[in-house]
Amino acid sequence: MPAALKMSGLWSPTLKEEPAEAEVISHRLLLRAGMMRKTAAGIYTFLPLGYRSVRKIEQIVREEMDAIGSQEMLMPIVQPAELWEESGRWEVYGPELARLKDRQGRDFCLGPTHEEVITATVRDELRSYRELPVSLYQINTKFRDEMRPRFGLLRGREFIMKDAYSFHASQESLQAHYDDMVRAYGRICDRLGLAWRPVTADSGQIGGSVTVEFMALAESGEAGLVHCDCGYAANVEAAEAVVAYEAAASTSQPLEKVHTPSVQTIADLAAFLGKNPQHTVKTMAARTTAGALVFFCLPGDRELNLLKAEKIVPAVEMLDEDDFASFGIHRGFLGPVGAPERTMIVADRTLKNELAWTVGANEPDHHLTGALPGRDFAVDFWADLLTAEPGDACPQCGKPLQAARGIEVSQVFQLGTKYSVSMGATFMDETGAEQPFLMGCYGVGITRSLAAVIEQHADENGIAWPVSVAPAEVAVLPLAVDDELVAPVAERLWSELAEAGLDTVLDDRDERAGVKFADADLIGWPYQLVIGKKGLAEGSVELKVRATGDRIMLPLDDAVAHVTGLVEAERARFS
Ligand code: ATP
Ligand code: MG
């Protein structure tokens, strides 16, 4: 439904001043361009222009969901506690879940997500394998009482999400729909004009769940990523670390104790011994839940990845200052040789080829060189313990990884029977036996996506929308609204563009040219048709392309066809 809008009838209060509280560009520009206003921390009101863009994103998502056979529906925001008690999440969800009571004192919550409601809705009604699969989605407001709402729409407390849930009789069926969703989510990102990467949140390690996060690349993103031109991308935390580690020695050496006074850090040690930090071994102390000591050994220049450490030793905790004394060990001088009895030694796999470890001697002011696993100490587990870094080898193709930051705009998940088992949602299979549904869930952050688009499409003057998300595709800017030539031509071009099917706005306000140009760039109309007296006298108008800054003079008679062609080409790029 292309619109013909007039600025005189549009409430879009733009701001000249930079809003002080806004740290990221999308937050600043959404406020400055008159798209939204803050109602409370992490809670926003969308003004007419901002809401137009929200609805455009919703429509793109709706089209992609409909195309893969997911059906739109709508669930309540207020949800009864009983459902959350059934799933077990009433206890475990924590303070992000906003809880409230009705006048009878019954417990409810504001939905942060809808697995419970959807599962309760289909159980008892979706009874036979013949009715499966079923995929349902809604576009609705979510509430999460985030600890630190920030960055405007990127991390709000109230936000709009598209959430879909699917029910299946077999893993093959779940996998097929999940694959459809993955492709649809990729198309959604493309249509929003986002530069994005699919990230396997848990890079296929044991116990990992089946999920993909769709990350819009942006400096302001909260997620640290490594990625490669071959298409590989992963969370730094989850990425497999493939390190071309150069061993300090390839033949064994005698074990020697070295006096290393006032050496506290790896940097001190490396400097003291004249070694590359990579050729020292860092030992980090932790404890199991049962209170046993664990030493993690890794190349001196690398960081221990706690998530990976926890995969080897569940619920492991790093020691704090006081614990060192209680275990009788010495911070800064830890090592696998002569560790307290029954210490579990977990070593990074890159050290496997190292035949001369430089390690702490487990006594103050001393280190050992030439330590050899198997001879001087035993390693209980070898594992990948490292946080991946740019420059490490891509686990897929071996090329050096690059670093980036990402905004998680959406995520798909195979839930399996987690909710159907806990909530008793079953169907009858071909043999007449009751089986729990296999489920998938799939979320797109509508309002977070809006902010992500701006993070990628903006400059110092304002937003530079892709046409697919812009509140309008073309703006007609008459530079003198009371001029007897300019005004009617502008009005005519505006209505012809709208008739050609373009979302068009006419800046009919009695404002100076400078104000109109500044507002047009701030709001970010993708195509701006400037109608001035001088140009008209020569039979021409000027087209400005917001994204590139290009300016083209067009013959008046050709303007509508030319702009329509450009917008249609651009639309095709985003469809
Ligand atoms: P995050 O890790 O960023 O807190 P999440 O993984 O908890 O997000 P999901 O439960 O996967 O979020 O929700 C699906 C989508 O909803 C997310 O991919 C994101 O786009 C959006 N979303 C989640 N939390 C917020 C929020 N606080 N503000 C805006 N959008 C959000
Ligand atoms: Mg998520």
C-alpha 525 to ligand 1 mean position (Å): 28
From residue 327, alpha-carbon distances to 264, 341, 362 in Å are: 19, 11, 11
d(C-alpha 194, C-alpha 511), whole Å: 34
Domains 256-383 and 472-573 share a fold: no
pLDDT (0 to 100) of residue 463? 98
Starting from the CA of residue 111, give the closest ligand.
Answer: 1
pLDDT tens, residue by residue, 144-170: 999 999 999 999 999 999 999 999 999
Nearest CA to ligand 1 atom 22: 445
d(C-alpha 16, C-alpha 28), whole Å: 11
Q: How confident is the model at residue 44 (pLDDT cuts 50, 70, 90)?
A: very high
Task: Give the atom of ligand 1 at the shortest distance from the alpha carbon of 213.
Answer: 18
Compute, in degrees rounded to 10, the torsion defined by CA atoms 442, 445, 450, 453. Answer: -60
Q: Report the percent of the chain where pLDDT is more than 70.
A: 98
Q: Does position 205 have pLDDT exceeding 80, yes or no?
A: no
pLDDT tens, residue by residue, 419-455: 999 999 999 999 999 999 999 999 999 999 999 999 9
> For a pocket test of ligand 1, which of 159, 409, 453 has the largest count of ligand atoms closer than 8 A to its C-beta?
159
Q: How many CB atoms are located within 10 Å of the residue 226 CB?
A: 27
What crossing angle do the helices spanning 25-32 and 446-456 adopt, rounded to 10°? 100
C-alpha 449 to ligand 2 mean position (Å): 13
What is the average pLDDT score of the chain?
Answer: 95
More confident residue, 153 or 201: 153
d(C-alpha 323, C-alpha 364), whole Å: 16
Cβ-based neighbours of 458, under 8 Å, separated by 6 or more: 25, 26, 29, 464, 524
Going by C-alpha positions, the residue among 455, 524, 545, 523 that lies closest to residue 195 is 455
CB 220 within 8 A of CB 455: yes
- Of the candidate CATH numbers 3.90.1150.10, 3.40.50.720, 3.40.50.300, 3.40.50.800, the domain formed by 472-573 belongs to 3.40.50.800
Q: Please give the full DSSP string across 471-486, using - where no structure is assigned.
A: S-SEEEEES-TT-TTH
Q: Does position 309 have pLDDT exceeding 80, yes or no?
A: yes
pLDDT tens, residue by residue, 250-306: 899 999 999 999 888 999 999 999 999 999 999 999 999 999 999 999 999 999 999
CATH superfamily of 256-383: YbaK/aminoacyl-tRNA synthetase-associated domain (3.90.960.10)
Q: Return the CATH fold of 20-192+421-455.
A: BirA Bifunctional Protein; domain 2 (3.30.930)
Q: Pairing mode, if any, of strands 540-545 and 551-555?
A: antiparallel
Q: How many CB atoms are located within 10 Å of the residue 195 CB?
A: 15
Nearest CA to ligand 1 atom 8: 408
Going by C-alpha positions, the residue among 239, 231, 182, 243 that lies closest to residue 208 is 239
Starting from the CA of residue 441, give the closest ligand.
Answer: 1
> For a pocket test of ligand 1, which of 30, 145, 161, 413 has the largest count of ligand atoms closer than 8 A to its C-beta?
161
Starting from the CA of residue 448, give the closest ligand.
Answer: 1
CB 512 within 8 A of CB 524: no
- Preceding amide of 149 cis, omega within 30: no
- The mean per-residue pLDDT over the stretch 186-206 comes to 82
Residues in the chain: 575
Pocket lined around ligand 1, Cβ cut-off 6 Å: 113, 144, 146, 155-156, 159, 161, 408-411, 443, 445, 447-448
pLDDT (0 to 100) of residue 201? 63
pLDDT tens, residue by residue, 207-227: 446 899 999 999 999 999 999
pLDDT tens, residue by residue, 3-19: 899 999 999 999 998 89
Starting from the CA of residue 139, give the closest ligand.
Answer: 1
> For a pocket test of ligand 1, which of 36, 411, 441 has the largest count of ligand atoms closer than 8 A to its C-beta?
411
Domain ranges, ordered by start, for the chain: 20-192+421-455, 256-383, 472-573
pLDDT (0 to 100) of residue 132? 98
Residue 452 exposure: Cα atoms within 13 Å on the Cβ side = 29
Task: Give the atom of ligand 1 at the shortest distance from the alpha carbon of 144.
Answer: 27
C-alpha 213 to ligand 2 mean position (Å): 7
Task: Give the atom of ligand 1 at the shortest distance from the alpha carbon of 112.
Answer: 10
C-alpha 184 to ligand 1 mean position (Å): 18
Going by C-alpha positions, the residue among 223, 219, 225, 224 that lies closest to residue 23 is 219
Going by C-alpha positions, the residue among 504, 508, 477 that lies closest to residue 4 is 504
d(C-alpha 181, C-alpha 200), whole Å: 15
Task: Give the atom of ligand 1 at the shortest distance from the alpha carbon of 214.
Answer: 18
